[in-house]
Amino acid sequence: MLTQDLKHPKTKPQQQTKCPVSAVFQTEEKINNVIRQLLKQDIPRDEISVSTQNKEFL
């Protein structure tokens, strides 16, 4: 188990990716679809935060 998991048991450590988030989630609709999928997995809404280059969808 990573030390980050011990400090923050509810959050996963952020993984560094080569491509920017905006390249993965190009539209707000795609972001909303991902959020809906997370909510279906019983993840509390206030723990979901999706960041793009300049905006944050909460």
Which pTM does this prediction carry? 0.33
- Tell me whether residue 12 is in a domain: no
Can you read off the two tokens belonging to residue 48?
């979901």
- Tell me whether residue 50 is in a domain: yes
Helix (H) or strand (E) holding 24: helix 21-24
- Tell me whether residue 29 is in a domain: yes
The residues with which 51 forms a beta bridge, in sequence order, are 56
- Tell me whether residue 54 is in a domain: yes
Domain housing 53: 21-58
pLDDT, one tens digit for every residue, the chain (58 residues): 444 444 544 555 555 555 555 555 556 777 788 878 888 888 776 777 766 555 555 4
